[in-house]
Amino acid sequence: MKTLYEETIGSERIYEGRVINLRRDTARLQNGAEVTREVIEHPGGVSVAAFLGDDLLMVRQFRYAPKKVLLEIPAGKLNYGEDPLDCGKRELEEETGYQADEFISLGKMLPTCAYDEEVIHLYLAKGLHKTHQHLDDDEFLDVEPMNFEKLVDMVLANEIEDAKTQVIILKLKLLRDAGRI
């Protein structure tokens, strides 16, 4: 198997924002050719699957970019340097009003690896207990517990469009069916 690589030989920040930054890199390919790569810098995020019995806590919220309300697993953006588990605990309580006794890592995913550095860390939260929801000032969402098997069917029917939600639901389905969680 041959070694695949691209070497960064130059980098220029072309936009700095509140959530993302954008840079233009010059890279050398393995054949010596130089190419331009545009990269979105993002601190990453966390997505937390939390069961209440056979129901999974879901949130509905308007997403500006696609201009529609999406059904999603509770999730949030990491602060630069923040521990993903700490972020997951914070986001679960902020969005749903629940804390959990245990968090199990389900790995991570690269949602748009062709041009974005974002990594989303996936967790399963167990042993939920009610506290109170405390959304950010610019955050509006509805919490909706939904039957897990119905959610699996919704993913397969393309009724759930959010990638992180699709991945975590299908991972959980496979892990549950294998008796691993």
CA 17 vs CA 10, 40, 166: distances in Å: 21, 11, 28
Percent of the chain with pLDDT over 70: 100
In this predicted structure, the answer to whether residue 136 has a pLDDT above a threshold of 90 is: no
Section 86-90 average pLDDT: 98
Section 157-161 average pLDDT: 98
Query: pTM of the predicted model, to two decimals?
Result: 0.94
Contact at 8 Å (CB) between 170 and 155? Answer: yes
The full set of domains in the chain, from first to last, is: 6-41 (no CATH), 45-177 (3.90.79.10)
Report residue 3's pLDDT band, with 50, 70 and 90 as the boundaries.
Answer: confident
- How far apart are the C-alpha atoms of 168 and 74, rounded to whole Å? 11
In this predicted structure, the answer to whether residue 98 has a pLDDT above a threshold of 90 is: yes
DSSP letter at 18 equals: S
Strands 21-29 and 34-41: antiparallel
Q: What is the pLDDT of residue 155?
A: 98
Percent of the chain with pLDDT over 90: 93
Number of neighbours of residue 166 by Cβ within 10 angstroms: 18
Section 75-100 average pLDDT: 96
In this predicted structure, the answer to whether residue 28 has a pLDDT above a threshold of 90 is: yes
Strands 120-130 and 45-52: parallel
- How far apart are the C-alpha atoms of 131 and 46, rounded to whole Å? 20
Report residue 30's pLDDT band, with 50, 70 and 90 as the boundaries.
Answer: very high
Q: What is the pLDDT of residue 137?
A: 86
Alpha helices in the chain (DSSP H): 84-96, 148-156, 163-177
